[in-house]
Amino acid sequence: MKITIRQETREDHKEVFSLIEKAFEKEPYSDHREQFLVERLRKSSAFIPQLSLVAEAKGVVVGYILVTALKIKGEREEFDSLALAPVAVLPELHGKGIGAQLIEEAHRKAIELGYTSVILLGHAAYYPRFGYRQAHTFGITLPFEVPKENCMAIELVADALKGVQGVVAYPQEFYE
């Protein structure tokens, strides 16, 4: 399936809202409010427009990914990183590689912008194929009570997380 990945524009907001709603509708772990999280993040200082991407096929938005800025707070230092949340694909188009292309493109753009790592909370079986590992193996923990296997991190640049230890501080918008 031929898709184009591009930066989201204001005109996409409505379609992205409905896409996210549909994508998470049948996900048992979801609070079904991810579309509202995206609306809040777009207005926050953590928002990076170049890392808000849509996948488009024949003029229709079929996938979306948002990567925002966060900090990892160590005992003495804090480190810049990114949060991948959410990635979503129209349910009828799952399994066609759209999610993978969105993730790879978001990684490429993040590297271009000078970022070196990404943190996420997600399906333990999906993300390792892109190079994600359990975050605790780097000495990074998430500020929520969640299974370790769902808290993941990737080094976009070799050894980017060497010596980076601490607790992830999500933007306030994640908690509202």
Ligand X SMILES: CC(C)(COP(=O)(O)OP(=O)(O)OC[C@H]1O[C@@H](n2cnc3c(N)ncnc32)[C@H](O)[C@@H]1OP(=O)(O)O)[C@@H](O)C(=O)NCCC(=O)NCCS
78 vs 149 by CB, closer to ligand X: 149
Q: Does the footprint of ligand X cover residue 98 (CB under 6 A)?
A: yes
If one asks whether residue 123 binds ligand X (CB under 6 A), the answer comes out as: yes
**Surface-to-core class of residue 156, CB atoms within 10 Å of its CB (0-12 exposed, 13-18 middle, 19+ buried):** middle
Q: Which residues pair with 57 in a beta bridge?
A: 60
Q: Which of 3, 37, 70, 88 binds ligand X (CB under 6 A)?
A: 88
Q: CA-to-CA distance for 6 and 98, rounded, in angstroms?
A: 13
- Binding of ligand X at residue 24 (CB under 6 A)? yes
Rounded CA gap, 138 and 131, in Å?
A: 13
Q: Which of 99, 118, 140, 154 binds ligand X (CB under 6 A)?
A: 99
Q: Is 53 in the site for ligand X (CB under 6 A)?
A: no
Using CB under 6 A as the binding rule, whether residue 97 contacts ligand X is answered as yes
Location of structure tokens 């409905």: 18
CA proximity to 173, closest of 43, 17, 79:
43
Q: How far apart are CA 62 and CA 84, in angstroms?
A: 18
Which stretch in 71-79, 82-90, 137-145, 164-172 sits in contact with ligand X by CB under 6 A? 82-90
Give me the residues that bind ligand X (CB under 6 A), please. Answer: 23-24, 27, 86-89, 94-100, 122-123, 125-126
